[in-house]
Amino acid sequence: MIKFFPMISTHTLCGRFCRYITWVCIYSITLNGISNALGPLIDRSSEPDLMVDAYSPCDARHPTCFWPSYVNQVFGYMCTSLVQMGCDNLVYNTMERISTHFRILEHRMLLLPKLVGANKCQETRYLKQCIRDHQSINETIKDLNEAFYEQIFIQFLTSISVLCTNIYLLSILDLMSSDFLSVFAFLCCALIENFFYCWYGYGVLMSSLHVSDAIANMDWWELTKESKQMLTFVMLQTSRKVYICKNAISTLTPEAFVNILKVSYSAFNILQKTSKK
């Protein structure tokens, strides 16, 4: 568990931005749900279709069966979307709070000589507390990787096929049709979701590297010999890059997001050429 600094609240530093991202996710999920829910109602040129082509215990062509099944599917779709959004925001919020703790640690390192003054005993105790806080942040990152590694890995692995198939569907559907709008809304939600994962993961990476820069830029020559040796150890620890879910597919960086788009577009071109033959 990360120990909260008494002078600065992480809730104050990242709460507003986390709420902003949460509202962006809510709006995108709502737009996607509305576009999918209105599709069967707008396109009534043929027999009524449900949101999901699933088994129905009765004939969905009759209104007495269509409307209960339709409401049930809309309710289930929104519930699953909200659960998915909740899991995503939990990861976003955790990564943002980790970045905030790194920024607090960076700020404290810069002000270390001014904060301790001439009290050498307090200097050593203060520096040891910073080291313990850095270790607790790394433990939190380890716990985050262990808890959400499978979720993020599957998320990025399936995103390639999802983006590819959605782009292909957009290329063959009629512009501004109900199916086109629903697929387009889902594609936007998938892009936003993956982008936030990569953006927050990149924020953790850069915030961790800024701690070592702060140590190099501080007035370290004013400290004692013991403190300088401890700072050398901290610099070695903080100079190592910290990745969230580091592997060949789902390393959370902007480069990973661009690579997913490239692979999806390449798969779309192959699928389009194959369908024309």
pLDDT of res. 172: 82
CA distances for 229 relative to 63, 64, 134, 202, angstroms: 78, 78, 16, 30
146 Cβ contact partners less than 8 Å away, ≥ 6 residues apart? none
**Which tens digit of pLDDT belongs to each residue from 112-137?**
777 766 555 577 788 888 888 888 88
Collapsed DSSP state (helix, strand, coil) of residue 142: helix
**Which tens digit of pLDDT belongs to each residue from 54-81?**
777 777 777 787 788 888 888 888 888 8
Instruction: Tell me how far apart the alpha carbons of residues 182 and 205 are, in angstroms, rounded to a whole number.
Output: 35
Share of the chain above pLDDT 70, in %: 87
pLDDT of res. 5: 42
Are residues 51 and 197 in contact, defined by beta-carbon separation less than 8 angstroms? no
Q: Which amino acid is at 256?
A: A
**Which tens digit of pLDDT belongs to each residue from 181-208?**
888 888 888 888 888 888 888 888 888 8
**Which tens digit of pLDDT belongs to each residue from 79-91?**
888 888 888 888 8
Are residues 124 and 226 in contact, defined by beta-carbon separation less than 8 angstroms? yes
pLDDT of res. 13: 55
